[in-house]
Amino acid sequence: MKTIANRILAVLLVILLIFSLLTIIIVKAQEELPTIKIDLISPTNTTYSQNTILLNFSIQKQSYDNMDYTIDYSMQGENFQKQGTFFMGTPITNELSFNKNFTELQDGTYALTVSAKYVDRIMWVYADRQIVTFTINTKTPQIRILSNEKKDCITNYPLKFTINKPTTEIFYNLDNLFNNTIPANYTLTGLPTGTHNITVYAKDLAGNLGVSETVYFNIKDPFPIISVTATIAIIVLVGIGMLAYSMKKKKSRDNIKRNNAN
């Protein structure tokens, strides 16, 4: 029994020794790994309203090493794929900056990867890698005013319109005088009589500005209820007066006839 216990203890000691050696090796390897960091400044995870995108990033060495690095990029989108290398060799300074313009990009979503890697024996090892996804949207919102057929209004104008995409801001311009922000369809009240014009504007999530057609409409005076009432009253009074006059005249003729008969 004592022999078996001793053997088990010996095995446990060997396992503990192997684990300790592996830990030391891993920690040592991590200490010796090249330390380099990518600071990706542009583009970012957002939506852009232009077809030109600037790739701007820097490489920072956090400790000295004599590794030969390869700094490269790859960008993919719908019907688009491009890749290239910025740098190959041993960075001498603590920081390197890189810039590249991508022009005439089509609307859509793109994935961009910037990598700093080196060769360890026979395989690539990534010291750092940054990935960003961005969208290009250059199409302006399409705005259609639905209330353009109602050209004659009384006092108020019901502004109704449709927009073909999500927006961050909607506003209108009345008579080329001022802009007024509105949440959606809106009724303009207290307008003076006469001819007016209105244009609707909208900004989408990328900042593209859409403009509607300019619509013209007329504001008329309210229906003259008081004047009509007064006119009716006058007609009634005149009618009553004429009836009374006619009855009086008839009574006078009757009196004359009776006097002549006597």
What element of type H or E holds 253?
helix 225-261
- Whether 33-136 and 143-220 share one fold: the answer is yes
Give the C-alpha distances (Å, rounded to integers) separating 102 from 44, 118, 135, 160, 252: 14, 26, 13, 41, 108
The full set of domain ranges for the chain reads 33-136, 143-220
pLDDT above 60: residue 22:
no
Residue of 74, 220, 204 whose CA lies nearest to 142: 204
Question: Does CATH place domain 143-220 in 2.60.40.10?
Answer: yes
Tens of pLDDT, residue by residue over 44-55, are: 999 999 999 999
Backbone angles phi, psi at 95, to 5 degrees: -150, 135
pLDDT above 50: residue 26:
no
Confidence of residue 144 (pLDDT cuts 50, 70, 90): very high
Predicted confidence at residue 31, as pLDDT, reads 45
Tens of pLDDT, residue by residue over 163-203, are: 999 999 999 999 998 899 999 999 998 888 889 999 999 99
Predicted confidence at residue 21, as pLDDT, reads 60
More confident residue, 148 or 74: 74
Tens of pLDDT, residue by residue over 235-249, are: 766 667 666 666 666
Instruction: For domain 33-136, give its CATH number from 2.60.40.3880, 3.30.70.1060, 3.40.220.10, 3.30.1360.40.
Output: 2.60.40.3880
Mean pLDDT score, 92-114: 89
Local structure of residue 141 (DSSP, 8 states)? P
Q: Is the pTM of this model over 0.75?
A: no
